Amino acid sequence: MTSSTNIKLMLSAVIFMSFYLFLTSRFSAFMISQHSQKGELVPAPVWTPRLAPIPRPCTCQPGSMQLKDLIPKHHLDKVYQRRKEEFEKLKKRTSPELSRLLLAPPNSPLQYPIQGFTVPPLKSSPIPGLKLYTGECSSYKVTLNVSKGLLSADASRFREVTVKGNQEAELTVESSSLKFLNVVLASVSYQSTFYHVHTGDLASFSFENHEAQFPIVIRQPQLPVMFDMGADISSQVTITIKTFLRYNNLKVLLSSIRRFYPNITVIIADDSIEPEKITGENIQQYIMPPAQGWFAGRNLAVSQVTTKYFLWADDDFEFTESTKIEKMVEVMEAVPELDVVGGSVEGNQFYFSLEYDEGEEAEGGCLYRKSNGRFHAVPGYPQCFLASGVVNFFLARTDSIQKSRFDPLLKRVAHSEWFMDGLGSLMVASCSHVSVGHQPKKNVASYSKFRTPDHSDVVFKYQLHFFKNHLKCIKFG
């Protein structure tokens, strides 16, 4: 058979299928029209809510570290079991009933809230928008079901409406009048039966063979927590520093800070082996047990901040004419969704993106840290763009960071790890228009002994990611 004949056959098949689909769609439209003219509702299939797709194993990036290989084989089964149990507890805290996938039923006569219905725990709240749209019937009957609360409706004004199940988990409303039934539906209220600060319920709403489900968010209203910033940078920002043994570097940094910000508060977390007293106006030095590590020091320093923002700086940085904290505050104030704004260290922004696939529960997820990976520009600030993590010179919202602690188990091998823990909760940006200097490196033997991690520190970090972050593999690219 020639190639031209094959092409003709393929074209004929395409034309036939197109014509068939056209006729099918026109016939369906005709049938719907016929039903509508008779005042009938086109029957809809019985609909069942579906769960989210079954999780699949994630695919590790080429060259990824397989974390289970770093767990001693004779411990691996027990570690897997402990991780599984802890993961189940975490899901109970962070994955409420409302995380289920719900599909809207086609051609439904039911009106109901699909988003935004939030109730305080233990208090009755009317359910907005409940209504039935259907053709003329001799009787109308709808049913509502919940699992974590009680339903009620007021039909006292209508003899034509019957309500069964007031103050129960299942409520039935029946009437010969569609108008009066809808008036009573507008009075239906929900009240949760137990106290929880943030959970949810799924309500089922049905009429004949039509059924829909909609979410009810149960949330304890929160008190706002705000900072009175004041007009001066010193009342807006605190500088935080973690130092260890490098007092000569620290003094150069403090001198440079005072050159540009004479009154700003500086908090120093110091875990040096033989601490040296640092004095000066608006300087707070907190002495820690020796060699507790970088993240432990960060936690201590940030815990003492009283301003809306804090600026993180390493003890060997040096402020310059380009270290304009005010510009970072301007970005944060203009874009309140941001939690962290990074600058550059002598022109090096060091930003990265994190690509995470949750995978399936038994194996865990896959994480890839992509150096120089970034997202789009920050609206109104083309010199800033969103990323997953930034250089170790950044301005951060105090209240946001206090909710995403620095893991003190990581003493020496740590920086990206904090942004990993904050993935999905911290909005991070990197900006090129604010920079800080870096002092020349000095070889201090006592410092290098602690600063340079040995193999056991690296192995411990990966073992920690395996359990704490429920990861199968990780790659730092």
Side-chain-side CA neighbours of 243 within 13 Å: the count stands at 30
* Helix axis angle, 455-468 to 73-94, nearest 10°: 40
State the chain's mean pLDDT as an integer. Answer: 87
202: part of which helix (H) or strand (E)? Answer: strand 198-207
Confidence of residue 53 (pLDDT cuts 50, 70, 90): low
Q: Does 280 have pLDDT greater than 60?
A: yes
Per-residue DSSP letter, 46: -
19: part of which helix (H) or strand (E)? Answer: helix 3-37
Of residues 414 and 95, the one with the higher pLDDT is 414
Q: Does 51 have pLDDT greater than 90?
A: no
Q: Does 131 have pLDDT greater than 80?
A: yes
Segment 414-445, tens digit of pLDDT? 789 999 999 999 999 999 999 999 999 876 66
Per-residue DSSP letter, 362: T
CB 474 within 8 A of CB 79: no
What is the predicted pLDDT for the residue at 442?
A: 74
What is the predicted pLDDT for the residue at 415?
A: 82
Question: Average of pLDDT values for 309-336?
Answer: 96
Q: What is the share, in percent, of the chain residues with pLDDT greater than 70?
A: 85
Q: Does 34 have pLDDT greater than 60?
A: no
* CA pair distance 100, 213, nearest whole angstrom: 11
What is the predicted pLDDT for the residue at 42?
A: 41
What is the predicted pLDDT for the residue at 25?
A: 42
Question: Average of pLDDT values for 199-216?
Answer: 95
* Distance, C-alpha 220 to centroid of its chain: 19
Of residues 33 and 82, the one with the higher pLDDT is 82
How many C-beta neighbours within 10 Å does residue 205 have? 23
What is the predicted pLDDT for the residue at 97?
A: 65
* CA pair distance 472, 367, nearest whole angstrom: 8
What is the predicted pLDDT for the residue at 18?
A: 46
Q: Does 178 have pLDDT greater than 80?
A: yes
What are residue 73's phi and psi, to 5 degrees? -60, -35
CB 233 within 8 A of CB 330: no
Q: Does 130 have pLDDT greater than 70?
A: yes
**Which of 13-22, 183-192, 197-206, 313-322 has the least mean pLDDT?**
13-22
What is the predicted pLDDT for the residue at 354?
A: 96
| E-state strands within 57-188 | 65-66, 110-111, 118-119, 125-126, 131-132, 140-145, 149-152, 161-164, 170-175
Q: Which domains does the chain have, with CATH numbers?
A: 102-219 (2.60.40.10), 233-476 (3.90.550.10)
Strand partners, 431: 384
Maximum average pLDDT range among 4-18, 74-88, 394-408: 74-88
